[in-house]
Structures are given as structure tokens and as C-alpha cells.
Chain A
Amino acid sequence: MEALGRGLVAEPVLDAAIIPGTLLDGAGATALLDPLMAGTTLVALAHAEREARYNLAHVGTTARPRGDTVVIDGIKSAVLAGGAADVLIVSARQSGGTRDRDGIGFFQVPADAPGVDRRSYRLADGSVAAEIAFRGVEVAASAQLPGDLDSLTPVVATARLAAAAEMLGLMTLLFDNTLSYVKTRTQFGQSLGSFQVIQHRMTDAYVLVEQARSQVVRAALAPADDFARAAAGAKAFVAEAALTVAHTAVQMHGGMGVTDELVIGHALKRIRVLALTFGDATAALDDYRRAA
């Protein structure tokens, strides 16, 4: 993932492979996992809802039994890679109140099933997400994956580490480009990098890159029983560091930094999107401190 970030690779590896793949793997759903891995079927997780903000337990979408089928109703927002997905994994409530942790199931729904209404739109990084309405969507009871909301925990942890690693790659891309720019750009008859104020800002950015790298390494090496907490912490730390480095990179590039012509702006936009993988830094921070 770090290499993908460094290369500013605009492919939905996180959204269409790691996130749905980890969930299907945990559920033992090899029938769908195999075509996903082969790249013949595009799968997306439809979990977030507007009213939920970043609360993973907030699921207003319902799944009601009808004979040997299940009827799904609700609206999912910010479905990453949802615009082009062939199959959607939809979280829906089978019992309990809207914010109860219990009573949530995951269902495989073909994206072209009757009652599925998709609206695709672009995110800051150019990727296509979707807002998807499910109106009386009927699927076989066997479309339900084994597992409840807890099955999302390893998915969130893996996705957070992957997002942190990609952000780390983007940080190194931003840092290297900016360092080279301040060494070559001259103003007032000397390189920008010869000004102490620039040196200190670049030093601050260097410290953030190194600290971010350590957090990513630390989470990657975390024992299984502490992995979710370590990944939440790494993601919270790296997201804030990456945004700071991106803002510094834009400022150091001056007018050029705010154009669409350099990788700088594209990296900033990608970081903005990655920083919200399963919630913002605050949400990840809360998971980190609550699990302590």
C-alpha cells in the first residue's frame, strides 16, 4: 500500500479488494471471494449511512424476513467503488434499535437487483462513490453472510492500516518532491531551501514522515490481539500528519501548489479521502483510547 501511495496509483485497491475481501474472507464466503480475487467481479461494501456519521453501529437500513427471502430497505451513502460494483455487501438491521451493536447482518445483493437505485458521484481524488437506495430489495435468505457487526472489526483494522500505509507513501512522495523543489527554486538570488524558515518547515515535515513510518511499522507488527487498537492509533496519527505535510507541500510550492498540474494537489486530495477511511482521525482516536 505504501508503494501505491508513493506512485499516486488511482486504483480502488482498498475499496474494491481489501475491504470487501477481508469481510468475505472472515465470513468464509469463498464463492464470491474467488471472483473478487480474480478481478472478474467487483464487490463493494455498503455500510455507511448519512445519519450514522462515523458510528459503525448506527444502521437504519432494515432486513425483514419474507418466507425464505429477506427484504432490504434503506439508503447507504459514501459507498466507495460503489458506482461500478457488480455485487454489494449491504449491512442491514434485523433486530434492535438503530444504534444497537447487536442485530446487524450483512447481505450479498447484486447491484442490478430490482429496487437498487444507485447515484454515482466523484470524490476529491477522482474516484467514483455512490449513494445507493434499497427499496424493497428481495434476496434469498442464503444471501446473508455469517457474522454480525463484530465481523467488521478485522475489516476496519485492516483497512485502517492499509489507508495509513498509503498515506505514508503519499507523504514521502510529497516530501521528496517538495525537498527537491525548495533546493532548486531560487528567489532573492538564493534557493528557497537556504531560508531558515523553510528549513524548519521541511524539518517538521521530515519528523512527521519518520514518525508516521514508525506508527505504520508498529501497527503492522502488532500481535493479533492488539491489532485493531494499533491500526486505529496508526491511522489517527498518520492521517493528521499526512494532512499537515500535504498543506506544507502546497504552501512551499506557492502558486504551482494549488494547481491541478502537479502531483502535490492530487496527493492532498487522495489523503483527504484516505483520512476518512472508516471515520476521521477523531473516530480512530476514540477506538484507540477505548480499547486501551
Chain B
Amino acid sequence: MDMSFSASDLGFRDEVRAFLAAELPQRLRDGMNGTPSVFVEPEIGLEWQRILHARGWLAYQWPVEHGGTGWTPVQRYIFEKECALADAPSLSVLGLKLVGPVIAHYGTPAQKSRFLDRILTGEDLWCQGYSEPGSGSDLASLKTRAIRNGDKYIVNGTKIWTTHAHYADWMFCLARTDPDVKPQAGISFLLIDMKQPGITIRPIIGMAGDHEVNQVFLDDVEALVENRVGEEGQGWTIAKFLLENERGGSCAAPRLIAELDRMERLSLAQPSGINGALGHDTEFSRRMARLKLEAEALEMTELRVLGELAQGRKPGPQTSLIKLVASSLRQHIDELAVEMFGYDGLQLATERPLYGNESPEPIGSKPAQLAMPTYLNSRAWTIFGGSNEVQKNIIAKTVLGL
């Protein structure tokens, strides 16, 4: 993709490369590569976050006045690509990508000064109170109820699939403040202190054995009115703003391409059992090639969307297209990885973490040990952030006019 970069873009790329070579510790690269779940643990993510913050490169998705970098979309792309190539930990999206931009866009001056800086420093960790047991794809049907009482809301309900609630200091929560209007109009966006009585967190263990998500019970929990973002009843609009950021706005292709390159290298060391390496097997290498074409197309699609963003257009339904392609491509890559390792791909260690000195000895190789849990966790990509069925409905309705 270098052909379309200007001289100054190439200079920026070299600057990012030099920074990563000097400042990204091997321990964090190992932590990223040794994480089979969707998100890295805070012990890995927060350290990388501090290094980026010290360099002033953390909040590149935020407006300049709140600590953003003012990068062009191409620079953002270059940064994410170089981070992916260097195995940099993926940053926690909850504060930086989800609630941060919401507060920056819709928040009061008091909310901005109270919350934004603490997201950057890592002092506050956030979780997302969106889905409920009865409200998954049909998010607008959510039942968590917030009743105003003076300068507070009293909140009751249950949230589910709450990533890292067990680490979180705050939850951004969709709650029903008016049950008498149409569902979308009665929802408000509340910031809730997680360190208060009435909050119960039940771990949900994924099928690979990882603890990433939780069910959170809210029993007479308090949310200050001053911690409501936007107006009462504006929650759905804000929720959609946030979901479009969740589904797009950053690039999935660089990590997927880096993953495919890594697999290609590994496949050349993997025996075919017949003649030479598996990487030279016709059927296997054709499957790899198909995935690579899909990833390259996705990269160009993402660059085209970035180009539109550069002209001041908002990310819209294209984010659904990117989410559709990226999530199923990731699943195909992770499935091929399991199959690449043959019988060794069947191992599923129950210990965590799978990096560092305490991690269990792998059978065959470390990448083989990671393949099965990564594949199992990866089944969630087509479900969270709006299932692929929902993304297709969005495209059919808003893009195709069906």
C-alpha cells in the first residue's frame, strides 16, 4: 500500500516504526501474542497505554482539544498498521474508543474535565452496560429502569456480556427513564460508579475457559443526574453514535494481514506428512491465498472509508460492511489456524494466562497452544457489537433501500 503514501506520510511511518522499535517492550508483544481472548488483560493493555500517553499518541481517535493527535485518516491507518505489524497490544476500546468520544461529543464541560483525562491515564477503567438477557439484537427493548429522585436516578436491572466489568471503575449504561414513549425515545445514557453497593458481578466463562464478560446486576444503584450524558431520552441517539464507532473508525485489516503473514511463515515449518511443508500444499496454500485476497480487499475498503472521512463525511453504514467482512474473515483465519496445526491444534489448556513465566508448557509450539482457544473465542466476533444478521439488516435498509 506504500504507493499511495506521500513523502510526509512515509516520514511519519518511519517515526512510528522507530518509536515502536524503541518503546514497545517484548513483554507486551508476548502478552498480545499470547492472548487467545478478544481483549488483552489490563496488566498488558494499561502499560502500553501509559507508554503511548507519554508520547502523546494515545487519544488519536479524539478531538485535538481533548488530547487528540490531529492525525489525518491516512496517518491513523499508518499508525494502526505499524502497531499491528509490531504485535503491539490492542488497546481497550471501552474508554478510549467508546465512551471517550461520546463524552467529548455530548458531555458537559464538567463531565469532560472529570472523566476524559482519567481515561487517558488509565485511572478509570470502563465497562459497557448495553445488552440485557432479554435484549440482544433488539437493544431498544432494554428494561433496565432509571427513576429520577432529586439529583439522582435509582437504577434497577441486569446487564449482560459486560466486558471487563470485573476491572471497571465506571459503567456507561443505557437505562429506560420513560416507559411511556416509544422504546427508542425513553432511553438515557448514564454513567454509573461501579464501586457502590447494589452492584453484583457474575462472571461468565467462555467456551475456551476465558473470563472476559460478566452479567451485572443493578439493585437500587445510584447515578447522579449530573452524570447523565446528553438529555433525558437522548440515549438511543448517543448509543448509535457509539455503536458506529465500535463497528468502524479503526482498521481491522492490518491485524488480519499481519496474522495471515505469521500463519504463512508457520505453515512453511509445519509438516504436510507427505512431501515437504504444509505451506506448499496446494489446497492449504489456496485457502491461505483466498483469505489474503479478502483481507487485501478489506484493507482497501477501509482506506476508501478513511478517504471519505478525510473529506469530512461521518462514518455511516459502511461500518456495518467492514464489521461483516472483518468478523467472518477473522473466523476463517482462526479456523484455518486450528486446522494448520493438525492434532496439536486440538489442545486446550485451562490455565491462564498463556504468556509469561507461569504459563503452561505447550504441546508442539506456542502458536499451536493458542490456536484452539483463539478459534473458540473468535466465534463471538459475528455476535457482539451487533450480530452479522443485524448488520445485514442495517445495510439492506439504509444502503440498499429494501
A residues at B contact (CB < 8 Å): 48, 50-55, 58, 77-78, 99, 119, 121-124, 129, 131, 187-189, 195, 197-198, 247, 250-251, 254-255, 257-261, 265-266, 268-269, 272-273, 276, 280, 282
Contacts and interface: CB of A to CB of B under 8 A. Distances in A.
Given A187-B138, A197-B389, 7 more contacts: A53-B272, A77-B364, A195-B389, A254-B387, A255-B380, A258-B376, A276-B343
Interface in B335-384: 338-339, 342-344, 346-350, 363-364, 372, 376-377, 379-380, 382-384
Given A50-B271, A77-B364, A259 B347 contact: no
Contacts of A54: 273, 342
B382 A269 contact: no
B207 interface: yes
Nearest to A120: B363
B348 A255 contact: no
Task: Give the size range of B's interface with the partner.
Answer: 35 or more
B65 interface: no
Contacts of B377: 258
A260 B206 CA distance: 5
Interface residue SS majority, chain A = mixed
Contact of A53 (B138, B278, B392): B278
Query: Which of A52, A121, A129, A282: most chain B CB closer than 10 A?
Result: A121
Interface in B265-324: 270-274, 278, 283
A258 B141 contact: no
B234 interface: no
A54 B278 CA distance: 11
13 contacts: A51-B273, A119-B363, A121-B349, A129-B346, A187-B141, A195-B389, A251-B382, A251-B388, A254-B383, A258-B206, A265-B207, A268-B376, A272-B372
A129 B345 CA distance: 12
Nearest to B209: A260
A258 B379 contact: yes
A126 B342 CA distance: 17
B348 A55 contact: no
B69 interface: no
Contacts of B273: 51-55, 58
